Amino acid sequence: MSRSKPKTKSPEVPGKGPRAAGGGTECVRRLDPDGVLLGKGPSRVPDDVLLSIYRTMSLVRSLDDRMLKLQRQGRIAFYGQAIGQEAGSVASAAALEDVDWLFPALREGGAALYRGFPVEQYVAQCFGSENDELKGRGMPCHFGYHEGNFVPLSSCIGTQVPHAVGVAHAAHIRKDPVIAVAYMGDGATSEGDFHVGMNFAGVYRLPVIFFCQNNQWAISVPVSQQTASESIAIKAVAYGFPGVQVDGNDAIAVYEVTREAADRARSGGGPTLIEAMTFRMGGHSSSDDPTRYRDEKVVREWAKKDPILRMRLYLEGRGLWSEKQEENLQADLLEKISTAVRKVEADPPPRTETLVEDVYAEVPWHLREQLEELKDPGDQEA
């Protein structure tokens, strides 16, 4: 008996019927596409934090543009852009404390940058050079930032979820006021690790936030083929804790929702699942051609919801930002990134010894011999 392939549905656009969380809850939104504040009361984001969020989102956008160009030139091997998703990673990180632990998926480099990840190290990780904090061991664009409690990401989908739950469990046992955040894409919610982590966190009421950036596509698989649920947020109900859907292109809404979830977790209220509705404007990675599987009309619609433009319009309306400040920011970003690229590209690769030095307290004789051969190929021929 043959089975027909389900029809692909076009992802929905915020403002045009977003997939709602359970119980009829609407998608939380504080800024409209023109940067006008919605809802009752002022923004709960301090002005200095608003400006930091905006500057970091702009930095992410500039880095994405430059790194993809370097990949196309063959100067780095791989890159995954976060264009259109900057608000999710940056604004959520801004809502947390420095002691909290972040377990990223592919597009959360902005969270590390917000926490102070140096641009030079960001670029070095893409090149895998001597200055790379991971010593060239990770894929390009798979960042780790020890000082910022930003755990190196893995390309294995969803594996960071139980890791974050484990850290939250340890904090709970030690009565340490630390929370963990497990970032993921919509595709990760189809993995067993997601459900195991959610169940464990719900049973033990752990201080963890599950932050899903629902960008509508798991490479070429649309969210309509990921789940039959009316939303991803509603999945939290089965595990005994709240699920919240938020406009992921609205930095103010993301900050406020994440802050509420963090306060709840830190006070013993348990976990929260946040579904940030957004869109991946580019390909899944530098190896992907999204024009082969998605409607460009939908892409154009989402371009009107640009999180950076939306925030800039809001800041300008508040008198917190100007055209001159924008010009200065863009010039500063260009210089900062260009300087980092020149420096990193001139750096040598990581030392050969780093292959084993962090694995063994005392390097075994057979590996030491192999290291010597690698350092002097002539000895091997003799």
Edge-to-edge strand list for the sheet holding 208-214: 101-103, 180-185, 208-214, 272-277, 243-247
Q: Is 284 a catalytic residue?
A: yes
Nearest CA to 188 among 210, 165, 171? 210
Reported residue count of the chain is 382
DSSP class per residue in 22-56: GGGPPPB-SB-TTS-B-SSS--SS-HHHHHHHHHH
Question: Residues of CATH 3.40.50.970 domain(s) within the chain?
Answer: 22-350
Helices (H), 249-364: 251-266, 296-303, 307-317, 323-346, 354-357
Per-residue pLDDT tens over the stretch 101-119: 999 999 999 999 999 999 9
- Catalytic residue selected from 44, 72, 146, 293: 293
Per-residue pLDDT tens over the stretch 330-377: 999 999 999 999 999 999 999 888 888 888 889 899 999 988 888 765
Per-residue pLDDT tens over the stretch 253-268: 999 999 999 999 999 9
Question: Tokens 């900050």 identify what position?
Answer: 255
Cα–Cα separations (whole angstroms), residue 18 to 12, 24, 35, 244, 259: 6, 11, 19, 13, 22
Quick one: pLDDT at residue 154?
Answer: 86
- The CATH label, of 1.10.10.10, 3.40.50.970, 2.60.40.10, 3.90.1150.10, for the domain at 22-350 is 3.40.50.970
Q: Is 293 a catalytic residue?
A: yes
**Quick check: 37 pLDDT over 50?**
yes
- Catalytic residue selected from 29, 284, 310, 312: 284
- Catalytic residue selected from 280, 294, 310, 312: 280
**Quick check: 3 pLDDT over 60?**
no
Quick one: pLDDT at residue 21?
Answer: 40
Per-residue pLDDT tens over the stretch 283-312: 999 999 999 999 999 999 999 999 999 999
322: buried, middle or exposed (CB in 10 Å: 19+, 13-18, 0-12)?
Answer: exposed
What's 304's DSSP letter?
T
**Quick check: 209 pLDDT over 90?**
yes
What pTM was computed for the model? 0.90
Give the chain's mean pLDDT: 91
